[in-house]
Amino acid sequence: EVQLVESGGGLEQPGGSLRLSCAASGFTFSDYSMNWVRQAPGKGLEWISYISSSSSITYYAASVKGRFTISRDNAKNSLFLQMNNLRAEDSAVYYCAKDNRPREISGYDYWGQGTLVTVSS
């Protein structure tokens, strides 16, 4: 059974940092690209970052570029999001999401349960 479990969310002050983790199991993690998607309370979905299966390619939304860094450890089946210089508008539930097809950008067939990030003084 595919499982994605996020952790690392919480309350942080503006300008602070958080590191989100996503533990993957039930599939060959190193074969699939991964993504982070966020959802502010009562709002829609916002894609924020992508990483290829080998970590050779990363993409970011303009809203987080230069502040957030996506990475992965295929040996530990883990995905990460380092979030620096946090702003109030970064407050959201953060989901990790798995691409549907190996080594190909596609829709996301599995999502974690999400971790809540709140940025407030």
Partner 1 sequence: EIVMTQSPATLSVSPGDRATLSCRASQTVTSKLAWYQQKPGQVPRLLINGASARASGVPARFSGSGSGTEFTLTISSLQSEDVAVYYCQQYYIRPFTFGGGTKVEI
For 27-60, give the DSSP string: S-GGGS-EEEEEE-TTS-EEEEEEE-TTSS-EEE
Enumerate binding residues for partner 1 (CB under 8 A).
35, 37, 44-47, 50, 59-62, 95, 100-101, 105-109, 111-114
Min separation Cβ 75 and partner 1, Å: 27
Nearer to partner 1, 18 or 64 (CB): 64
> Is 59 or 116 the residue whose CB approaches partner 1 more closely?
59
Question: CA nearest 67: which of 50, 90, 46, 47?
Answer: 90
Q: How far is the CB of 19 from partner 1 (least distance, A)?
A: 22
Residue type, position 97, single letter: A
